[in-house]
Every structure is written in C-alpha cells, then in structure tokens.
Structure 1
C-alpha cells in the first residue's frame, strides 16, 4: 500500500506535466478529476498504472520539446521557411516585385 505522501507526490507530478491552467477549485479539468479519483482509490495496480502514465507524460513532453528544438521551421509557413533557409546559407531574398505598387508610385509622381 502506498503512503499518502507517495500518492500526493504522484498527483503533483501529474499536475506539473499537464498544461497549466488558472488556479481555482472549479477550473479542474475532467482529466485532473479522473487522475485524482484514480490515485485516491489507493489500489496497488492503479498506483503502478499512475506511475507508468506519469513516465509516458514526461516522455511526451520531452519529445515535444526536442521536436521544437531540432525542427524550428516546423510551424512556419512556406515563405518564412524559404527566407530563413536563405539566411542560413548567407543570402537574402530579394524584395518581391509588385506591378500594382509600381503603377501607384508612377501615378503619384505625375
């Protein structure tokens, strides 16, 4: 049987791994309530499963961190990715030509 301090430690570890939310008693998500009720049931298999799920959550968080770190252009649009790739090899992309802008500038001069 797990001690109350061990149960509390596991529960707090889960809360650290979950996305942060405003602190209030009514803002608990269904997942947080489910984790709390499962840990509170104090069966040995549920504690073992909780520890396994905790390891899984930690691994998923680390995976997301590493994915963001080693694939920085993953969330960029195509134009931004091309510009950053050009800068990486020491080049700058030329400014894009817009026919509409040149006709407007030409009309202003007259």
Structure 2
C-alpha cells in the first residue's frame, strides 16, 4: 500500500468534518503525512510507518463496525428504564397501565 492510500484509508475512517473547521485529529494526521521525511530514513522504516497507518485504519474501521452492530442488535441500549419496560411488556402482548401524574 502506498503512503497516499494509507492516508486516504485513515481519513475515510475518521468522523467527517467541515474542511473549513477540521478536527484536531484530522490536523494531526495531515501534519504527520505532510511532514518531510529525513533522507536517512530507509525503505523498511517507511514500510513500517505505512503498516502502522494501515493498522490504525483497520482498528478504526473495526470500531465503527462494532458500534453499528451494537446499535443493530441492542436497540434498547440507549433507552430509559421506563421505555425499555414498556417495550418489553408490548413484546409479550401486554400494555402497561397509564400512570397519572
């Protein structure tokens, strides 16, 4: 994988932001890839840096997919307790009585 494709893979996995107002993480990643490489850096060091960038992109992709799966298979995770009880009762065919305020 080239440096450019590793950079694009990282940007694809970061949350989208406005170009006029980039997140500090976007700025940091851009600065890392734009920084001039020392002439003494060997090809193995460059390939190691690219491999690390690919691993970070793969980790970010896995985390994004994990959150999507968690939301899909646990839809009540962000619900309040009352709403969760009401939906559980509805699932088994019961309606909770209306509560007076």
Given the alignment, which residue of 2, 9, 23 partners 1:13? 9
> Unaligned regions of 5+ residues in structure 1, if any?
99-110
Question: Which structure 2 residues correspond to residues 3-42 of structure 1 after superposition, within 5 A?
Answer: 6-24=2-20, 27-41=21-35
- From the superposition, tell whether residues 10 and 53 of structure 1 become closer, same or farther in structure 2 (CA, over 3 Å): same
Decide which moves more: 8-17 or 47-56.
8-17
Q: Does 1:51 align with 2:54?
A: yes
Cα RMSD (Å): 1.8
CA–CA distance in structure 2, aligned partners of residues 33 and 97 of structure 1: 53
Give the alignment's TM-score, normalised by structure 2: 0.78
Whether the 8 Å CA contact 1:13–1:54 is kept in 2: the answer is yes
In structure 1, the residue matched to 2:88 is: 85
How many equivalent pairs are there?
Answer: 92
By relative contact order (CA 8 Å, sep 6+), the higher-ranking structure is 2
CA–CA distance in structure 2, aligned partners of residues 13 and 59 of structure 1: 13
CA–CA distance in structure 2, aligned partners of residues 90 and 9 of structure 1: 53
Rg (Cα) greater in structure: 1
CA–CA distance in structure 2, aligned partners of residues 97 and 36 of structure 1: 57
> Unaligned regions of 5+ residues in structure 2, if any?
38-45
